[in-house]
A and B are shown apart, each in its own frame.
Chain A
């Protein structure tokens, strides 16, 4: 019988309160240094604007919304773009050191891999569009805006939970 090798076992997730404390302190530090919070979706908008300019420069420059993002300068001099690079790297290092890192299409018991990816794409489009409407996502609005008691950010957070719980109730049989 093979002995259990603890070095090969996945590390457990942290207590949500410890993880929340760590994230909260990171946010305080970010406000202390930069005067603003931590975002995510804004980096994707800048990337999208710059990709579009690569393929159809006239269209990208002619769009008032995208133009404002193009005026922000190179991607690698943008605070939020570098921060997102750090988030990806940090998540990767976290998964690696917890021995959780592997290629997989994580999915529930009732869905195939193709459908899982298709739904992930549709969900991503909804999140992307919603985050542009709200000028932020769960990081920029719910977390960062919530911490400085921004009225719109708290409305956003309430709507986020409302949307999640309502829609999950409709599809609850497919998820479990």
Chain B
């Protein structure tokens, strides 16, 4: 089955909605196990106290990056139709700044 399954019409959008719940369950469960359920832990990296959140984030990004490249390399996913977020330099820079600030304010 060549991915992505829903854009390739191997799975129906309705199956995608069921998968949404599964993906969310997994994501939420793993985030909790990583300690992201604690607002204090989420902000501890900004005070150089606990870098677990940073390690989790970058491990996940690298695993997903390599995983997608490998799947694409063996022809199991068509990377040309995978959605890539559009680039809006200033809004994304300002949005990132605001979210960093918001994390800190929200993590007392």
Q: Tell me, in angstroms, the Cα distance from A172 to B46 when the chains sit together.
A: 9
User: Given A20-B63, A33-B4, A147-B64, A93–B25 Cβ distance below 8 Å?
Assistant: yes
Q: How many interface residues does chain B have, given as a range?
A: 35 or more
Bitwise, B45-86 to A at CB < 8 A (1) or not (0) is 111000111011111111111011001000011000111111
Asked whether, in the complex, the Cβ of A16 is within 8 Å of the Cβ of B52, the reply is yes
Nearest chain B CB to A107 CB, angstrom units? 6
Q: Tell me, in angstroms, the Cα distance from A31 to B7 when the chains sit together.
A: 11
Asked whether, in the complex, the Cβ of A155 is within 8 Å of the Cβ of B3, the reply is no
Stretch at the interface among A1-9, A53-61, A62-70, A128-136: A128-136
Asked whether, in the complex, the Cβ of A33 is within 8 Å of the Cβ of B56, the reply is no
Asked whether, in the complex, the Cβ of B28 is within 8 Å of the Cβ of A89, the reply is yes
Q: Tell me, in angstroms, the Cα distance from A163 to B102 when the chains sit together.
A: 9
Asked whether, in the complex, the Cβ of A28 is within 8 Å of the Cβ of B89, the reply is no
Q: Tell me, in angstroms, the Cα distance from A151 to B82 when the chains sit together.
A: 15
Asked whether, in the complex, the Cβ of B102 is within 8 Å of the Cβ of A125, the reply is yes
Complex interface: chain A residues within 8 A of B4 (CB): 31-35
Asked whether, in the complex, the Cβ of B23 is within 8 Å of the Cβ of A175, the reply is no
Asked whether, in the complex, the Cβ of A151 is within 8 Å of the Cβ of B46, the reply is no
Asked whether, in the complex, the Cβ of A106 is within 8 Å of the Cβ of B39, the reply is yes
Q: Tell me, in angstroms, the Cα distance from A26 to B38 when the chains sit together.
A: 21
Bitwise, B19-39 to A at CB < 8 A (1) or not (0) is 111111111111111110111
Partner among B26, B58, B84, B102 whose Cβ is within 8 Å of the Cβ of A150: B84
Residue pairs across A and B with Cβ atoms less than 8 A apart, 8 shown, are A36-B83, A119-B105, A123-B102, A125-B102, A127-B98, A133-B94, A159-B94, A160-B96
Mark B residues whose CB is within 8 Å of A.
3-7, 11, 16-17, 19-35, 37-40, 43, 45-47, 51-53, 55-65, 67-68, 71, 76-77, 81-89, 91-108
